[in-house]
Amino acid sequence: MNGSLPVLRSFFLFISKARWARQIIMSWGVSRRVARRFVVGETLDEAVQAIRDLNAAGLNATFDHLGESVTNEAEAVRATDAYLAILARILETGIRSNASLKLSQLGLNLSYDLCLNNVRRVVQKAAEGGLFIRIDMEDTPTVDRTIELWRTLRKEGLVNVGLVFQACLYRTERDVSAVLAEGCRIRLCKGAYKEPASLAYPKKSDVDASYDRLVRMMIDAARAGGAECASADGRRPPITGVATHDDKRVAAARAYAEQVGFPKQALEFQMLYGIRPELQRQLAAAGYPVRVYVAYGTEWYPFFMRRLAERPANVWFFVSNFFRR
């Protein structure tokens, strides 16, 4: 969010949800080509290969089978089956990965119960194989239901599931404080959705300050609970997941962790595939667990638009490719 111009950001976040724009932009070959910078491919095989390469470079991964806001039950069930296939492939191949999913892809906007049943199938299957599932956080109308669904699974004994929180929202400090007390493994990000000023900090400096505060809260809570480290097989993350490509946020997290003697293996950095790969490798070489978010599938349009929204340079790259085609 920091590197983007507010008007450009709003524009791309708006068209990320517009069906007409999706139809036009997906029909251009150049879109698919440029999206490939952030999306490893359209098939599970391509994602597995990308993760093997990351693993060989000392990086762990999390799969994202692209898709969101499904409009019927059959699509939600297909997405659930895709996640079950991912889990089977992780176990078959022994790759160092877990999986991240979006509730709107598993039916949240159709019915809470349908979504809960779908997610439960995935998390149960993951638990049987000793795997971990991360529930991505979407826009503000979904936040309460996302936390509620996570709590329901925890009550059922499914503890191999964690949440994402967005530093841009005013409510996040309260939410993070509550779920940390319940043992939640957290991925903290800045927030990729368009939110009104009544709910989210409009200024980037406030989002950054919130980010650093939240990281300190997460580290303090993890220390109080014994500072559990990432699992040796690279699948279960620690409590503290710092998902950013921002050098200053990374430096602030490292500085606080060092100051309080927090173990490196309890502080996981997470980044998106194709973004700051040299920083990913530097952090891994420095002894931190690093997890790369590997998105694949045919439904790459909204994910791609959010990446354009984050950074004007990506838009210029896209436009220059468009005129070169």
Ligand X SMILES: Cc1cc2nc3c(=O)[nH]c(=O)nc-3n(C[C@H](O)[C@H](O)[C@H](O)COP(=O)(O)OP(=O)(O)OC[C@H]3O[C@@H](n4cnc5c(N)ncnc54)[C@H](O)[C@@H]3O)c2cc1C
> Given the rule CB under 6 A, which residues bind ligand X?
1-3, 136-137, 164, 166, 187, 189-193, 243-246, 270-272, 275-276, 293, 307, 310-311, 314
- How far apart are the C-alpha atoms of 38 and 317, rounded to whole Å? 13
Catalytic residues, by residue number, are 136, 187
Q: What is the largest CA-CA distance in the chain?
A: 56
From residue 222, give the alpha-carbon distance in Å to each of 62, 121, 133, 134, 261.
Answer: 22, 29, 19, 18, 12
CB of 232 to ligand X, least distance (A): 21
Shortest Cβ distance from residue 80 to ligand X (Å)?
18
Sort 220 into a burial class: Cβ within 10 Å, 0-12 / 13-18 / 19+: middle
Q: Which region holds residue 100: left if phi is over 0, alpha if psi is between -120 and 50, else beta?
A: beta
- The set of residues, in sequence order, having a beta carbon less than 8 Å from that of 304 and lying 6+ positions away, is 31, 34, 35, 38, 39
Shortest distance (Å) from residue 261 CB to ligand X: 26
Give the Cα separation of 152 and 145 in Å (integer). Answer: 10
Q: How many angstroms separate the CA atoms of 245 and 192, rounded?
A: 13
Q: Which is nearer to ligand X, 235 or 311 (CB)?
A: 311
Q: Shortest approach of ligand X to residue 275 CB, angstroms? A: 5
Q: Which is nearer to ligand X, 263 or 312 (CB)?
A: 312
77 and 114 Cβ atoms separated by less than 8 Å: no
Minimum gap (Å) between residue 224 Cβ and ligand X = 25
Between 116 and 192, name the residue whose CB sits nearer to ligand X. 192
Q: How far apart are CA 16 and CA 301, in angstroms?
A: 7
Residue nearest to ligand X according to CB distances in the complex: 2
Q: How far apart are alpha carbons 284 and 268 in whole angstroms?
A: 10
Q: Residue 6 or residue 23: which is nearer to ligand X going by CB?
A: 6
User: Which of 38, 262 has the CB closer to ligand X?
Assistant: 38
